Structures are given as structure tokens and as C-alpha cells.
Amino acid sequence: MAKVTLQTIADRLGVSRATVSYAFSRPDQLSDGLRRRILEVAGELGYAGPNPTARSLRLGRAGALGLLFSETLAYAFADPYAIGFFQGLATAAEDAGVGLLILPLPHGDRRSDPVRDAVVDAFCVMSLPDGHPALAEVLARKLPVVVVDEPYVAGHPFLGIDEPAAGAAAARHVLDLGHRRLGVVMVGLHEDGHSGWAGPERQETASFAAMRARRGGYQRACEEAGLDWAAVPFYEVARNSREAGRRAGHALLGRDPRPSAILANTDVLALGVLDAAADLGLRVPADLSVVGFSDSAAQEAGLTTIRQAKQEMGAAAGRLLLAGSAARPERRLFPHELVVRASTAPPAHRHP
């Protein structure tokens, strides 16, 4: 059966190909009666409309923003921080009448072809590790680019928070309460799938710049308080899940001496640490203080955390992408805030 084209419909109706094209792309140029007749014939012939890819290439725009991030699609719709950011970005896109193409790259996936094949007008790059080939492909396409969280790319807009200051604020809170036996659980350092104890060298060589900086904030606050950072037990997890936080919590709380306060670099991991404490019959905050990060799943659990402006950051990224080449390559740091709730208190027994 011959392929139905705009010309096929034009020949059937005895009008020009341009007239048929207007029925799909510029309906205001035709009378209601003529457009209705063209669409009726198109339906009879089984023609759904012009190829969107070919049309976008012809017009020089795709009508869609690309979102590239280093996780799975399932994770994107389960992680509270990601959900908040996506809501802000999607709202900005929706208000402008454009779509959003999500391009997930799970940890360890070093492909760049999803970027090369994406029909989009601009890219939002979110939380990619240093040196990822997909970022090089994004930059090679010469489209507007906004980077969120990591890595910083000179000459392009960057949105994030002051990670060292935020990490230091979380650690300083429990230190000011009198805690001196701290433990740390973190995700997002490396792509190699490692879960277990991580020494200073592995921490310092992390491939994700934002988490490297956040960890540096923890270290700075501890050293300012006179603690030996190398002696702080540090547990790294491969996945940001509550169960991973629970396992890390058991590992940290099984040490002797046991930490009296644990810092987690996500709220999800912190909730898992609370689960581990409950498993062991420990009272929070009487026996253990816990601090999370991002204030995305914390309020109901009474979790002390660092609040981030997730949706505002997503909306700002969307506006910059829609501005295209007119967007200034600024480095914008959004405010963060320590939110103190019921999961932290002074230690039951002061210790050196």
C-alpha cells in the first residue's frame, strides 16, 4: 500500500500541498470548512499528521527540553528531591507550551548516544559525575545548557547550593549540641556500586563534585571542633534507598564505641538510619541523633535536616532553558536552611 503523504491528500482534494500542510501547522490560515474537509480526508486515508521529527528539523525547533541525569527513570519518580525538582522544571515547560524529554543515565552507564539522538531545543544536565562522555556530547551539540548541582561547566548557567556550607551546618548542629562520636552515611560518591566503609582517600576522590563538597563541609566542621576526621566512621552506599540507609545504620551502630549522632547526606538514608535505631531498641534522640539532607521526606518523621529549594531550582532551570542563548552564564546558589526537629538533642552522656 502506497505511503500517504501531504501530497496524496492534496491530489485527492485538488488543492496545493501547502494548503494541506496549513491544516496541521497553521490552521488560522484556512477557513473552518476547508480545514475540516482536509482532516476528514486525512482520516479516511489513515494519515495522522506530519512526522514530528522532520517538522522540528524543518522549523529549527523541537518544542521540548531535555533533562539528563545520573539515575534510573524509576528512581526519578520515587526520590523526593528529584520529584520536587522535576515538578518545578515541568511547570516551567508546561507554562511555555513545550514538552520535557527525560534522559536517564544510571550509575555506570557511560553512553552518550541518548544525547546525540535526542530531539530537543536545550539540555538541563543534573548531577552528572566528572568527565562523563554524555556531558561532552551535550556541549558538542551547541544548544543552550543549564547545569544543576554538578559538575560546574564554565560558560554555562549553573544552579545549586553552597554545598560545603550546607554540609558544615548539618555537622555543626550536632557538634554544638555536644556530640563528639559522629558517624556518616553517604550516597553519590562514585559510580562503581561500592557499599561499605570508605576511608579519607576514597572520600576525597569522589567523582561527583557536589557530594565531594558536601562531605568536605562535614569534615571542616568536625576539624574545627577538634575531631580527627580520619577517625569518624564513614559508610558509603551505592543506592539512595531507605533499606540501604538501614544497612548502613546497623553497620555504624554496631561499632564500639557507638556513634551518638549520624549524618546522612539524604533524607531517605536518614529515615533508614532511624529504622536501624528502632531495630536495635535505641531511642531517638535520647540515644541517637540523626540529621538528613534536603527536607524532602523529613517533616512527618520529625527529622532534622537541611532544607533545599527544590521546586524553585527546577523552575529557575526551566526559565533559563526557555531563554535559550539569551540566558546569562551565571552561577546561582540557592539558599539552604537548617531545620531542627525531634531527631536531634544533646547526648545523654557528654563524652570527650
Tell me the average pLDDT across 48-75. 72
**Number of folded domains in the chain?**
3
The reported pLDDT for the residue numbered 234 is 98
Residue 343 lies in a domain: no
pLDDT score for 59? 45
pLDDT of residue 60: 53
Residue 48 has pLDDT above 80, yes or no: no
pLDDT tens, position by position, 247-294 = 999 999 999 999 999 999 999 999 999 999 999 999 999 999 999 999
- Whether the per-residue pLDDT at 161 is higher than 90: the answer is yes
Owner of C-alpha cell 516551567: 92
- Local structure of residue 116 (DSSP, 8 states): H
- Angstrom distance (rounded) from CA 165 to CA 169: 6
| Residues 75/292/295/161 CA torsion (nearest 10 deg) | -90
Residue 346 lies in a domain: no
Enumerate helices (H) and strands (E) in the chain, giving the number of each.
Answer: 14, 13
Do 83 and 192 belong to one domain? no
182 found inside a domain: yes
Residue 341 lies in a domain: no
pLDDT score of 230: 96
Asked whether residue 321 is assigned to any structural domain, the reply reads yes
Q: Using one digit for the tens of pLDDT, what is the confidence trace for 8-22? A: 999 999 999 889 988
Q: Are 180 and 352 in contact (CB under 8 A)?
A: yes
Q: Where are the beta strands (DSSP E) in 12-133?
A: 64-69, 99-104, 122-126
Q: How high is the pLDDT of residue 58?
A: 45
Print the domain residue range for 256.
163-309
Specify whether 201 is located in the same domain as 140: no
For the ranges 51-65, 77-91, 169-183, 299-313, which has the lowest average pLDDT?
A: 51-65
- Given a cut of 90, whether residue 245 has pLDDT beyond it is yes
Residue 57: pLDDT over 60: no
Q: For residues 120 and 161, give the distance between their C-alpha atoms in angstroms, rounded to a whole number.
A: 27
Above 80 in pLDDT, residue 350? Answer: no
Q: What Rg value do the Cα atoms of the chain yield, rounded?
A: 26
Same-domain status, 90 and 139:
yes
Q: At what angle are helices 32-45 and 17-25 packed, to 10 degrees?
A: 100
What's the whole-number mean pLDDT along residues 192-209?
96
Judgement on whether residues 168 and 156 belong to the same structural domain of the protein: no
Residue in the block written with cell 576539624: 223
H/E run at residue 316: helix 310-323
Mean pLDDT, rounded, of the chain = 91
- 127, part of any domain: yes
- What is the percentage of the chain residues whose pLDDT exceeds 70? 95
Percent of the chain with pLDDT over 90: 74
Q: Are residues 113 and 154 in the same domain?
A: yes
User: Residue 24's pLDDT is what?
Assistant: 81
Residue 30 belongs to a domain with what CATH number? Answer: 1.10.260.40
User: 77 and 132: one domain?
Assistant: yes
Per-residue pLDDT tens for 281-338?
999 999 999 999 999 878 889 999 999 999 999 999 999 999 887 788 889 999 999 9
Q: Would you say residue 252 lies in a domain?
A: yes
Q: Are 101 and 65 in contact (CB under 8 A)?
A: yes
Same domain, 18 and 71: no
Extended strands (E) in the chain: 64-69, 99-104, 122-126, 145-148, 158-161, 182-187, 196-197, 234-237, 261-264, 289-291, 305-308, 331-334, 336-339
How far out from the chain centre does Cα 185 lie? 19
Say yes or no: 181 and 292 in one domain. yes
- Which amino acid makes up residue 152? Y
End-to-end CA distance of the chain: 84
Nearest Cα to 129, choosing from 69, 66, 218, 80? Answer: 69
Q: How far is CA 239 from CA 58, 244, 300, in A?
A: 42, 7, 23
283 in the same domain as 148: no
Q: What is the mean pLDDT of residues 214-243?
A: 97
User: What per-residue confidence (pLDDT) applies to 27?
Assistant: 80
On whether both 272 and 145 belong to a single domain, the answer is no
Model confidence at 342: pLDDT above 90? yes
Position 87 scores a pLDDT of 93
CATH number at residue 151: 3.40.50.2300
Indicate whether 36 and 102 sit together in one domain. Answer: no
Of the candidates 141, 140, 122, 131, which has an alpha carbon nearest to the alpha carbon of residue 68?
122
Say yes or no: 210 and 267 in one domain: yes
Please check whether residue 200 lies inside any domain of the structure.
yes
pTM of the shown model? 0.83
